[in-house]
Amino acid sequence: MRLSRAFLPTLKETPAEAQIVSHRLMLRAGLIRQTSAGIYAWLPLGLRVLRKVSEIVRQEQDLAGAQEILMPTIQPAELWKESGRYDDYGKEMLRITDRHDREMLFGPTNEEMVTDIFKTYAKSYRDLPRNLYHIQWKFRDEIRPRFGVMRGREFLMKDAYSFDIDAEGARESYRRMFRAYLRTFARMGLKAIPMQADTGPIGGNLSHEFIILAETGESVVYLHKDLLDFDVLAQDPTGTGDPSPVVDFWTSRYAATDEKHDVAAWDAIPAESQVTERGIEVGHIFYFGTKYSKPMGLTVSGPDGTPVVPEMGSYGIGVSRLLAAIIEAGHDENGIIWPDAVAPFACAILNLKPGDAAADALCEQLYAALPGEAVYDDRGERAGAKFADADLIGYPWQAIIGPRGAAKGIVELKRRATGERLELPLEEAVAKIKASIA
Ligand code: ATP
Ligand code: MG
């Protein structure tokens, strides 16, 4: 993308309404634009990151054996009356009446709908286990939408739903998702710690929240220091096979949210290993048995022909919230520092002197060598403004090209995260950038 033709609006001033750094930076870097309270339009750069984050989520769900579907945002109220949640859900649910006076709603989650779909087709124990997921917009009429996409009203969620013949099967599905979640967040450069959690309005008896430590987090969390050193991608590089060792490992140390905090267990941990922090919930998994399958009439015939009510779980990831969480975890005073895996573009090519034949030619060559992975700052701005924008947006690499280096065919590469600078011939610069894209 050439910046002279692109729609990448950055803001110099810090927007007054933004209270936390990720919100400020998302507005200033031109990732999002608020259209009503808690509702955002995604601008080109924000959309690219949202897609990259979604794709990692998708790959790990597929690897764990879940299958992608796409359910609608608008749901009929009847489904929620069947489960008994229509009245319980309260004001967070956006209720809609269509022209025929039918009660509809904008889905805050999809347990009812997926159970209804699945029950049409699942007839026998051979149709189990199955896990279906989608990545779809949700609406929750939050009383206090704030912090940008961290707590929006409309937000993108990945939600998966597992169906199993018995409790042991459901626990295995839960463990698979548990591992998939650890891997998903680790691939985005985040350390998300699974913590015992309350089940809230989803209901059920087993639940973990995946939480990223950050000062701006909304909940207080308690954990054993060792958890911060665990690395799931090293422990289980393929992400296939029995997930139990990974789950056992990560649940062998204390970690709990405020609501589930057990003071006696906490006091048993040596003081130097106790970490009390604030955290951001990026994922939440639940095993809730027959809470939906039973009232909604999902039954299959078991191996001996008797009817069985499948055991279910649900598994959510806050896809749009993740962008804010990644920025909370990776920024400095100049702007965002994207991890390679989710950066909107790998590299910004900064032409320090558009119009200089050698600089123009070298920039064009580099730009052509990185299709779809580079933005080319060919604007007639001064160098300082180009550096500031590139730092603000946080491309992992900046390729700085001016007349002097260009005359020798040399590209100056700056690594955004470390500030490290390298002077390299074109091919080596390209190889270096490509190696980080993976
Ligand atoms: P919270 O406690 O933060 O309100 P929740 O427990 O109600 O979230 P879940 O039903 O567990 O949320 O939803 C799954 C995931 O969706 C959460 O882990 C979170 O990452 C994300 N999420 C939930 N509510 C919002 C929101 N209002 N804005 C953005 N993301 C959200
Ligand atoms: Mg939750």
217 lines ligand 1 (CB under 6 A): no
Report the 10 Å Cβ neighbour count for 192: 26
- Number of compact structural domains in the chain: 2
CB 108 within 8 A of CB 157: no
Q: Whose CA is nearest to atom 7 of ligand 1?
A: 200
Instruction: State the Cα angle at 209 between 340 and 118, rounded to 5°.
Output: 95
Comparing 52-61, 83-92, 200-209, which segment has the lowest mean pLDDT? 200-209
Residue 268 lies in a domain: yes
281 lines ligand 1 (CB under 6 A): yes
Instruction: State the Cα angle at 425 between 422 and 431, rounded to 5°.
Output: 80
Do 294 and 168 lie in a common domain? yes
Do 362 and 326 lie in a common domain? no
Residue 10 lies in a domain: no
Do 294 and 354 lie in a common domain? no
pLDDT tens sequence across 376-397: 999 999 999 999 999 999 999 9
Domain span including residue 194: 21-335
Residue 13 lies in a domain: no
140 lines ligand 1 (CB under 6 A): yes
pTM: 0.96
Is the predicted pLDDT of residue 198 greater than 80, yes or no? no
Residue 15 lies in a domain: no
Q: Quote the ligand 1 centre to 405 CA distance (angstroms).
A: 49
* Among the bound ligands, the one closest to the CA of 136: 1
Q: What is the mean pLDDT of residues 336-347?
A: 98
Q: Hey, what are 287's tokens?
A: 């095993």
Instruction: State the Cα angle at 398 between 394 and 401, rounded to 5°.
Output: 150
Q: Hey, what are 418's tokens?
A: 């470390």
Do 184 and 112 lie in a common domain? yes
Q: Hey, what are 284's tokens?
A: 């939440």
pLDDT tens sequence across 248-267: 999 999 999 998 999 999 99
Residue 16 lies in a domain: no
Instruction: Output the average pLDDT for the chain.
Output: 96
